[in-house]
């Protein structure tokens, strides 16, 4: 469309230029006194024409699609023949069992011999003198005296082969720790026994003797 407009404009400009030249010639003819016939002939020669618009250029059609090309499948190739090879059987493998490891169990040390049984007592130990005199009022704890504590304390002790008291301990408390703690010391210090004897008359120790000591405040 732009090309047609440009062509139409140039034609109009040319026509306008011709008309202007023609007017100039006529004016000049009148001025110079040219004959009327010349002017009439020149006017007759002047022909008007219409400027037609150029038709639009035809639209370009898209090129046709390329023809489809047929793809031929590949030729069939026969597979090679299957050749069966002989099967080779391997000989059996014989395994040799190893002997189990020898387990050495350490032997336990021999048990120590049991202690000899205590000799049987043929004659029990006997006290030398009065047992009540072994714990005297002089042994009374001062605090127990002030608080007027009285009670009976049960003790257990051992008598050695020489007749002395050892391993004294309180087995039945009196309820007053002052009296319990003051019982074994004088009893062990003053106690004397005739030692026990076995069947052959030998002096032997005798364990597990028991005694009850009464703590009582003396009356004035």
Cα–Cα distances (Å) from 162 to 110, 125, 191, in that order, read: 36, 10, 12
Q: What is the pLDDT of residue 174?
A: 95
pLDDT (tens digit, 9 = 90+) per residue, 123-146?
999 999 899 899 999 999 999 999
Ranges of each domain in the chain: 2-45, 126-215
Render pLDDT for 116-126 as a digit per residue (tens, 0 to 9). 777 788 899 99
Q: C-alpha 81: how far from its chain's center? A: 62
Cβ(215)–Cβ(153) below 8 Å = yes
- Statement: residue 61 has pLDDT above 60: yes
pLDDT value at 1 more than 50 = no
pTM: 0.47
User: What Å distances lie between residue 206 and 115, 122, 158, CA to CA?
Assistant: 17, 11, 6
Dump pLDDT digits (tens) for 171-189: 999 999 999 999 999 999 9
pLDDT for residue 161? 95
Res. 33: pLDDT tops 60: no
Q: Do residues 144 and 179 touch, judged by C-beta distance below 8 A? A: yes
Percent of the chain with pLDDT over 90: 41
How is domain 126-215 classified at the CATH fold level? TolA/TonB C-terminal domain (3.30.2420)
| pLDDT band, very low/low/confident/very high, at 219 (cuts 50, 70, 90) | confident
Q: How far is CA 35 from CA 23, 145, 198, in A?
A: 16, 190, 202
Whether residue 111 is predicted with pLDDT greater than 90 in this model: the reply is no
- 193-208 burial, b at 16+ Cβ within 10 Å, e below that, comes to bebbbeeeeebbbbee
What is the separation of C-alpha 54 from the centre of its chain, rounded to a whole number of angstroms?
A: 91
Run of H or E including 156: strand 151-159
């Amino acid at each position: 469309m732009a090309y047609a407009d440009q062509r139409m404009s140039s034609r109009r400009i040319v026509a306008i230029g011709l008309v202007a030249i023609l007017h100039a010639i006529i004016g000049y003819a009148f001025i110079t006194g040219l004959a009327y016939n010349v002017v009439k002939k020149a006017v007759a020669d002047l022909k008007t024409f219409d400027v037609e618009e150029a038709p639009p250029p035809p639209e370009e059609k898209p090129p046709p699609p390329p023809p489809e090309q047929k793809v031929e499948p590949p030729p069939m190739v026969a597979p090679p023949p299957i050749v069966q090879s002989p099967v080779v059987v391997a000989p059996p493998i014989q395994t040799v069992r190893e002997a189990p490891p020898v387990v050495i169990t350490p032997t336990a040390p021999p048990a120590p011999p049991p202690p000899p049984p205590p000799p049987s007592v043929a004659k029990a130990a006997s006290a030398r003198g009065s047992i009540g005199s072994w714990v005297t009022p002089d042994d009374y704890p001062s605090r127990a005296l002030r608080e007027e504590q009285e009670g009976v304390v049960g003790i257990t002790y051992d008598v050695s082969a020489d007749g002395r008291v050892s391993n004294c301990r309180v087995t039945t408390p009196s309820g007053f720790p002052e009296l319990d703690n003051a019982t074994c010391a004088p009893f062990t210090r003053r106690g004397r026994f005739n030692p026990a004897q076995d069947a052959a008359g030998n002096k032997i120790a005798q364990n597990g003797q028991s005694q009850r000591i009464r703590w009582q405040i003396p009356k004035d």
